[in-house]
Each structure stands twice: as C-alpha cells, then as structure tokens.
Amino acid sequence: MGSSAAPPLRPRHPVRTALIAAVLAGLIGGVWYWSDHLAPPSAAPGAEKKGRKGAGNSHPQPVSVAAARKTDIRVWLNALGTVTPVNLVTVHAKVDGTLLSVNFREGQMVRAGQLLARIDPRPFQIQLDQASGQLQRDSALLDNARIDLARYRQLLARDAIASQQVDTQDALVRQYQGTVETDRSQVDNARLQLEWTRVTAPSSGRIGLRQIDPGNQVHASDANGLASIARLQPTTVLFAVPEANLAAIHHGTSAHDALHVEAWDREQKNHLADGQLLTTDNQIDTATGTLRIRAGFANRDNALFPNQFVNIRLLLGTLPQVLAVPAAAIQRGEQGSFVYRVNADGIVTRVAVVPGAQDGDWVAIEGTIEAGDKVVIDGTDKLRDGARAEIIVPGGPARGRKPAIRSGQQS
C-alpha cells in the first residue's frame, strides 16, 4: 500500500493579509514622519537623554536667606510657674449660730471690712444683757462698800471703832473692785461675740464660691468656712530654677535693682504680664536640685489668676553686640550644630557653629561666620555642602530668574 506526499499549505485569505501589511506600513511611516518633521526639538530622543543626565546638576535649589548680624542678645532663663495670691484667706464664722443671710455675690471683688454674712444675734444679745446686769449689781455693791469704808475711817479717827473693822471693810472694797473688773470683761466679751455675728471681709480681693447657704448652722470650727478671698492685685508667681543658675541669679540681683520677669501662657504665644523678681528661697530643694523663686506682678488687668499655670522668662542680663543668626538657620547633625552659608556665586558651604543664648527669633553663635554673611533659613532639606542655591526673595521673583513670557508676547 503506497503513501502519497501531502499537498503544500496555501494561505486561505490572501486579501486580508495584504490589508494588514499595508496598515502596518502606513503606521510606521506616520510615526517616522512625525518624529522627524513635526516633533519639537526638546522631544528628540537625544535631547531627552541629555537633559535627564544633567538634571541633578543644572537646577539650583531655591532657598530663603537672612544676613547674620551683630546685635544685643538678652539672656533669658525659662521656667514653669504657678500664680500664687499675695493673700489667700478663708472666711470663717467666729461664733456658732444660725446663718441668717449671705451678703455677697460669688466671684465679686470685696473690700476689707465689707459685710459678707449675718448670724442670728439674739442669743448673744441676751448674754450681753446678763453681763451688763451683773456689772451694775456689783458696781452698786462696790459703791456701798466705799461709803461704809469712809464712815468707818471717821469713826476710827474718834476712837469709836476698832481699827480691825476698818481694815476688813477696806479688803471688802478691793474685793468688789475685782468683781467689777471681771464683770466689765464679761460685758466686753459678750459685746464682742455680738459683733462677730456680722461676718466681714478680713482683706480685699476676689471672693470665691460660698460653702454654706442661709438657714444652716455654722460653727467656728468648720474647715471650709463660708468662702475664700484671694487678692489679685498685686499677685505673685512661684517657680523653680535649676541650682546651676544660682550664680547668674545672684549676679543679676546684685547688679540690678530687680530682675525683669515675663509671664506667658501655656502655649507661650500670649504675653500675659511683666513683673520683677521679689525673693528666692533660703535653701535648695535636695530632692529636685532646684531653687524656688517668687516674682511679683501688678496684674492690673487680672490676666493672672490664682493657681494658673504660666511660663516664666527671667531676664538674667544682656550680651552686647554679639554675632547672631535667625533660629531657623541653626541645623543639627551628627557632628553638632551648623549653618548653610551662601556666597555671592550661590555656592553653599556648611559651617559649624556653637549656639548660645536665644532672644526671640535670634540666636547668638560662635563660629567662622561674619556679620553680613547670608545663611539659609528655609529650604535646607535637600542642601549639601558645595551645592548651588537660588535665593528666593519672599514676595518677589527669585534672584537670577527671568520672568515668564505670557502667551502673545514676544521674547
């Protein structure tokens, strides 16, 4: 049985194959024509590769700079403080009794001697009347004993009675005198108890919330009292500083009448009051290694409130005409603090510095920086030593950069 060879394969759709080949040829020719005649020069393959290769070195880093300068720098000592009233008094009733009325409004300013509350005075008025009656009775007995003594002395002068009877009457007179003095003190005490039924303010200041309502029984031994009064004008702030600053504080107090103190709010954004150092404690707290200090403030606008937390800035002195840079220019790295200096050609140099006292936004420094040198204050993230920088003026165009040409204008 013989085998015959298979016939050769023939394309089933010669027309379709020819169309596909024609379309591909047309696309290739269109791409070649566009890239060779219509594409802009910047889009050329060679130009694109060249631009990418030099992109890192041809574009300088935009930065903002400020000039170092010589200025006076104030030396501040920062601390945390608590507002402490000059006087903080708890108003207590001095006698026991029923509270009839409360004559103050919570939170109001009161004056020393102002009536704050009244206690039922009737029991104390009765005690005063009893003491007064006893005084009158004993005073009458004293007067009668004195009359008898004068009569006995006349009789003794005529030898009508014995001298012993005169001496006895004289002792009786002195006895009644002592009784009368005791009665007078009882009257004064009863009158004082009656006056104490009127509860008055022991000092001027701002009164707090009342602790008891009218109709209740009050006692002199009540721990909370009726209310508390805090004197707000003037006021003080108590704060602590490390013992390492003791010498500077003593030097400042000896060189000046009083060191200047500023009080700021919790976020150190709002300046609350200006004052002065009043005194320091007589010993250092060994548990914390700090020295407690009290500063005084006039507090005329009541910006400082009792037990308020404040930030304190104590002015120790002034460094005259020292080299300073903005605080934003100080950078910190593994080798210490440094700044970026920009020369006239726009080349950045990393310069090591030693920061000192800070006064507001300026920091005193030591290093190879001179007054007038430009230091970078913004844009330091991508800077490196030897890089090229482009100085940006806030609110204006960058130095050396040409303004953009709007559409329709000729270059």
At 275-303, the pLDDT tens digits run: 999 988 989 999 999 999 999 999 999 99
Peptide bond preceding 121: is omega within 30 degrees of 0, i.e. cis?
no
| pTM passes above 0.85 | no
Look at the block and give the residue holding tokens 């600053």: 245
3-state SS, the chain, equals CCCCCCCCCCCCCHHHHHHHHHHHHHHHHHHHHHHHHHCCHHHCHHHHHHHHHCHHHHCCEEEEEEECEEEEEEEEEEEEEEEEECCEEEECCCCCEEEEEECCCCCCEECCCCEEEEECCHHHHHHHHHHHHHHHHHHHHHHHHHHHHHHHHHHHHCCCCCHHHHHHHHHHHHHHHHHHHHHHHHHHHHHHHHHCCEEECCCCEEECCCCCCCCCEECCCCCCCCEEEECCCCEEEEEEEEHHHHHHHHHHHHHCCCCEEEEECCCCCCEEEEEEEEEECCCCECCCCEEEEEEEECCCCCCCCCCCEEEEEEEEEEEEEEEEEEHHHCEEECCEEEEEEECCCCEEEEEEEEEEEEECCEEEEEECCCCCCEEEEECCCCCCCCCEEEECCCCCCCCCCCCCCCCCCCC
Rounded to an integer, what distance in angstroms lies between the CA atom of residue 74 and that of residue 362? Answer: 10
Q: What is the pLDDT of residue 41?
A: 46
Mean pLDDT for the chain overall: 84
The pLDDT confidence band at residue 13, using thresholds 50, 70 and 90, is low
- Enumerate the β-bridge partners of residue 251: none
Residue 399 pLDDT > 70: no
Rounded to an integer, what distance in angstroms lies between the CA atom of residue 151 and that of residue 169? Answer: 10
Q: What is the pLDDT of residue 159?
A: 87
Highest-scoring range by mean pLDDT, 3-17, 88-102, 349-363: 88-102
The pLDDT confidence band at residue 402, using thresholds 50, 70 and 90, is very low
Is the model more confident about 58 or about 369? 369
Domains and CATH numbers, the chain: 61-72+320-391 (2.40.420.20), 76-86+232-319 (2.40.30.170), 94-119+197-230 (2.40.50.100), 121-195 (1.10.287)
Q: What is the pLDDT of residue 45?
A: 44
Rounded to an integer, what distance in angstroms lies between the CA atom of residue 202 and that of residue 166? Answer: 53
Q: What is the pLDDT of residue 206?
A: 94
Residue 28 pLDDT > 90: no
The pLDDT confidence band at residue 32, using thresholds 50, 70 and 90, is low
Residue (of 338, 334, 330, 411) closest to 377 by Cα position: 330
Residue 192, token pair as written in the block: 């004082």
Q: How many residues does the chain have?
A: 411
Q: What is the pLDDT of residue 410?
A: 40
Residue 236 pLDDT > 90: yes
The pLDDT confidence band at residue 251, using thresholds 50, 70 and 90, is confident
Rounded to an integer, what distance in angstroms lies between the CA atom of residue 382 and that of residue 376? Answer: 12
Cβ atoms 261, 276 nearer than 8 A: yes
Q: How far apart are the first and last CA of the chain?
A: 91
The 10s digit of each residue's pLDDT in 186-217 is 999 999 999 999 999 999 999 999 999 999 99
Estimate the crossing angle of helix 122-157 against helix 163-195, to 10 degrees: 160
Rounded to an integer, what distance in angstroms lies between the CA atom of residue 102 and that of residue 213? Answer: 7
The pLDDT confidence band at residue 30, using thresholds 50, 70 and 90, is low
Lowest mean pLDDT among 68-82, 114-128, 300-314, 397-411: 397-411
Residue 2 pLDDT > 90: no
Mean pLDDT of 352-363: 89
Lowest mean pLDDT among 6-15, 21-30, 219-228, 246-255: 6-15
Rounded to an integer, what distance in angstroms lies between the CA atom of residue 22 and that of residue 3? Answer: 41
Residue 128 pLDDT > 60: yes
The 10s digit of each residue's pLDDT in 134-152 is 999 999 999 999 999 999 9
